[in-house]
Amino acid sequence: PAELDSPKDKLWRKLKKEPLVPIGCLLTCGALIVASNHLRKGNRDAFNRSLRWRIYFQGLTVVAAAGGAWYYG
């Protein structure tokens, strides 16, 4: 039963059930890291482009989480 799973087993089960959510989280964090590097270097155009990508990835992650919640009940 799911109640007796270890936290590690529960994490893997959820990752297999909805793989788009953690992928979206990683992409969002990656875009934020890239944006911070561009900010540090003073490249404004690349910084703004990276922040736009972060918004897109974050939006897709929210849609994936909501879709998974709706689909799996």
Domain contains 65: yes
Query: 2: pLDDT confidence band, cut at 50, 70 and 90?
Result: low
Which residue range forms the structural domain that includes residue 59? 7-72
What is the per-residue pLDDT for 4? 79
Kindly list the distances between the CA atom of residue 63 and the CA atoms of 2, 21, 37, 66, 70, in Å, as whole numbers in the listed order. Answer: 26, 9, 27, 5, 10
Residue 1 covered by a domain = no
In a domain, 36, yes or no: yes
Look at 59 and 17; give whichever has higher pLDDT.
59
Q: How many structural domains are present in the chain?
A: 1
Q: Judge contact between 63 and 24, C-beta under 8 A.
A: no
Radius of gyration, alpha carbons of the chain: 16
User: Do the domain assignments include residue 53?
Assistant: yes
Q: How many CA atoms lie within 13 A of 55 on its CB side?
A: 6
Examine residue 2 and state whether it is found in any structural domain, yes or no: no
pLDDT digits (tens, 9 = 90+) for 21-57: 999 999 999 999 999 999 999 999 999 999 999 999 9
Section 8-19 average pLDDT: 88
